[in-house]
Amino acid sequence: MPQYSLYINEKEHQVDVAADTPVLWVLRDHLNMVGTKYGCGIGQCGACTIHLNGNAVRSCSLPVSAIANASMKITTIEGLSESGEHPVQQAWIEVDVPQCGYCQAGQIMSAAALLNRNANPSEDEIKNAMSGNLCRCGTYTRINKAVALAATKK
């Protein structure tokens, strides 16, 4: 099996996995970073969202060979803020967004990526950016409200 070098949450990690192993399973099964969730396995629900060089990507459909041993910087929910003080995380708490909470790590990562590239998004820009993340509980109104609140905290 090949060995890959990954730069995750400001630290370098070495993993021995098959080239087609999705980054999601490298994070969860090999590095014990279980904040990133498995949802659909085909990149459609957003539960597995991470940042790759600051952009929101689906880790369940991204093979490790596509990003390893390159200058790719990965950030997971664990790396967003160790203490939960990121403006998006604070807004999530203030608005009381989660119901079941399963999709929230992916939602938060998508929101943080949006605010990194657009510090003052409109309501439509928020809805568009967050539309790729599904929430079975239907907390979309609170999610959008929290993203708008987080924009005021940055």
Nearest to 84 by CA among 71, 94, 72, 70: 94
pLDDT of residue 2: 84
Phi and psi (nearest 5°) for 141?
A: -60, -45
Q: Which domain holds residue 38?
A: 3-79
Mean pLDDT by 10 residues, the chain (154 residues): 92 96 98 97 97 97 89 95 94 95 96 98 98 96 98 90
Distance CA 130, CA 112 (A): 10
pLDDT of residue 1: 81
The last residue of a domain, from among 79, 101, 122: 79
Chain mean position to CA 119: 18
The answer on 70 and 8 residing in a single domain is yes
The answer on 98 and 131 residing in a single domain is yes
* DSSP type of residue 38: P
The answer on 69 and 53 residing in a single domain is yes
pLDDT of residue 36: 97
The answer on 94 and 65 residing in a single domain is no
CATH number at residue 48: 3.10.20.30
The answer on 100 and 70 residing in a single domain is no
The answer on 56 and 30 residing in a single domain is yes
The answer on 45 and 113 residing in a single domain is no
Q: For the chain, how many structural domains are there in total?
A: 2
The answer on 101 and 54 residing in a single domain is no
The last residue of a domain, from among 58, 79, 100: 79
pLDDT of residue 82: 84
